């Protein structure tokens, strides 16, 4: 069940009534630009990897460093 010729003509008539004959080329141009932009965006998304590469670990643990004492609360409430 596709769209037949009478359906297409009815759609074209409604579009002409809504937008007018003068603005119709500009509207079609804008729709074409939107579709083109959508295709380019989808193509660019397919080219880039979806998951980023894991970052290397750059920090090390110093086993000879003295332990750090937790800070004391100053005049605070103790619950």
Helices H / strands E in the chain, number of each? 1, 0
Token pair of 76, please? 């605070």
In angstroms, the CA 20 to CA 12 distance is: 11
Mean pLDDT of the chain: 78
pTM of the model: 0.41
Structure confidence by residue, pLDDT tens digits, 44-56: 877 776 666 677 7
- The structural domains of the chain, with segments of one domain joined by +, span 22-49
């Amino acid at each position: 069940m596709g769209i037949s010729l009478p359906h297409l003509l009815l759609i074209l008539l409604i579009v002409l009534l809504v937008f007018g004959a003068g603005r119709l080329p500009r509207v079609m141009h804008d729709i074409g630009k939107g579709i083109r932009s959508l295709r380019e965006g989808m193509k660019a998304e397919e080219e880039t990897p979806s998951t980023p590469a894991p970052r290397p670990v750059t920090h090390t643990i110093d086993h000879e460093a003295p332990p750090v004492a937790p800070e004391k609360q100053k005049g605070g409430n103790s619950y």
